[in-house]
Structure 1
Amino acid sequence: MLRKWLLSLLAVLSAFASAAEATGPASTVVAGMVFCDQCKDGARGLFDYPLYGARVAIQCGGGDTPLTVRESNTNWFGGFSIRMEGSPDMTRCTARVVQGTGHCGAAASGAPRELTLAFRMLGLALYTVPPLLSQPEEAMDFCPGHDRQRSPFSPPAEAPSQSPLAPPLPPFWRRRPIWRRPLPQEPIGIGEPQAPPPPPAPAQGSACTYDKWALPEHRCHWMVVTPNTTVAMAFGPLAAQRYGSELTLREALEGRGDMYRTLLREATAALLNAYYNAPGGPFLYPTTASVIDHMNGALLSSTQRVLIEGARFRRANAGGGGRTRLPCDFDGSPSC
């Protein structure tokens, strides 16, 4: 019975292949994805997200000057698909990122990746490529070991400049006698040692949870955005696709009961904290762009990534995750 079923399946596939060859020419597709390697470790990790708008080139021929046969840009999900007519042998071709986007557009990581034939059936050949990476100029501040590593793209430190040689002294008979120079009269007390100036106070950061940002008496601490700013305008088109175009940040702070609403609530509080702190300060997310990048990366990834990013936002809003624990510095401040 099983043998008869297999013979029938093979007959159907053969007939379908003959029909495909008769109705249209063969074609070849190359597919893959590009990720932003935020920590510049050369591998896809937890902090990396699919990169939109990156330029990918398919090159063949090898050597120092390979021939570029096709180019394509990645979509919103970081994927690309390049279609070519015919059935060329692409096993000796490679794919590489030739241009990144945003803060992750500095350079491609590593050598070009080779194409692998996934299947060839019914006049269609599909080639795949391992994940491609594009890197920023510097590793992000929240990456593990960021302070102990130096980016290979950063310029070397300049050697300290040497002071020029002092000009030679004139001959002895042309020097002015020392006894003709009047000695300076130093006032009493001028020569006494003075206390050094006090060191500047370290930058004080702030981190407040979503429930404190939602209080009406703390609305005066909102920077750049307002409670009526829409989520779509604050976080971009990916958030608009998930949460709609009418949801406001005030309503986002009330989200609960669903992991995506929890992610949005904690990301909104992190965005407000990033606006409230000075750029590059001690808050775990030094810029608002890093908050938006992690939010979009979670929306494009799995549910596990959504839970991880939500928990990480929540820890940062509570003052943790950095070198020191940050307080909420408008505690006890007068109402607006």
Structure 2
Amino acid sequence: MDLLRKNMAGLALLLFVFCSSAQAWTGEIRGRVVCDVCADSSVGPEDHVLEGAEVAVLCITKSGEVINYQAFTNSRGFYSVAETMPESDRWESCLARPISSFSEHCAIRGDKHSGVKFSYKLPSGQTHNVRSFLYKPTSAPVYCS
């Protein structure tokens, strides 16, 4: 029994050494989708978040791999994608773009750009915040005039 315990302890130590020598990297991309009620291209008190909006995030890693993520906004209008991978494969640059708002009242893209490109140079455990994506209603309320 003592020999078995020593072997198990040795195996555990060996696994610890191998696992701790591998450099893991974790990144997160976060953003928000908003209904720009007055279509004024800014987020104000009259605007509201869009739950269930779809966003695509495309990232290129240091090793050249292209990874495509799909995210949906929560009840507060936020989406996020996160990944843990070897440091050698970490994200190098990404593109976040809105796909659909899934709101029948606020479904027209409110900004001119089809997405946001950015370099991801943050250390492990840090979050890149993307500017809000805006949708506008088919017709603005009277109080917006």
2:101 aligned with 1:100, yes or no?
Answer: yes
For the 8 Å contact 1:108–1:134, the answer to whether it is kept is yes
Structure 1 spans left out of the alignment, 5+ residues: 1-18, 62-66, 146-336
Deviations 1:79-130 (A, max 9, x none): 111012332112xx2222110132112325221223465841xx33422111
Aligned with 2:142: secondary structure? coil
Q: 1:110 aligns with which of 97, 109, 112?
A: 112
Superposed CA RMSD: 2.8
Q: Which has the higher helix share?
A: 1
Deviation at 1:138, TM superposition (A): 1.9
Structure 2 spans left out of the alignment, 5+ residues: 1-16, 61-65
Matches within 5 A, 1:119-198: 119-120=122-123, 123-143=124-144, 145=145
The match for 2:80 is 81
Deviation at 1:60, TM superposition (A): 5.2
What TM-score comes out, normalization by structure 2 length? 0.66
The match for 2:44 is 45
Bigger RCO (CA 8 Å, 6+ sep): 2
Cα distance in 2 between the residues matched to 1:142 and 1:73: 30
Aligned with 2:143: secondary structure? coil
The match for 1:175 is none
What TM-score comes out, normalization by structure 1 length? 0.31
2:71 aligned with 1:72, yes or no?
Answer: yes
Deviations 1:130-189 (A, max 9, x none): 11111222222321x2xxxxxxxxxxxxxxxxxxxxxxxxxxxxxxxxxxxxxxxxxxxx
Percent identical residues: 24
Cα distance in 2 between the residues matched to 1:55 and 1:75: 10
Change (3 A) 1:36 1:85: same
For the 8 Å contact 1:94–1:115, the answer to whether it is kept is yes
Aligned with 2:99: secondary structure? strand
For the 8 Å contact 2:27–2:126, the answer to whether it is kept is yes
The match for 1:297 is none
Aligned residue-pair number: 116
Cα distance in 1 between the residues matched to 2:109 and 2:68: 21
Higher Rg: 1
Q: Which has the higher strand share?
A: 2
Cα distance in 2 between the residues matched to 1:115 and 1:142: 36
Change (3 A) 1:134 1:118: farther
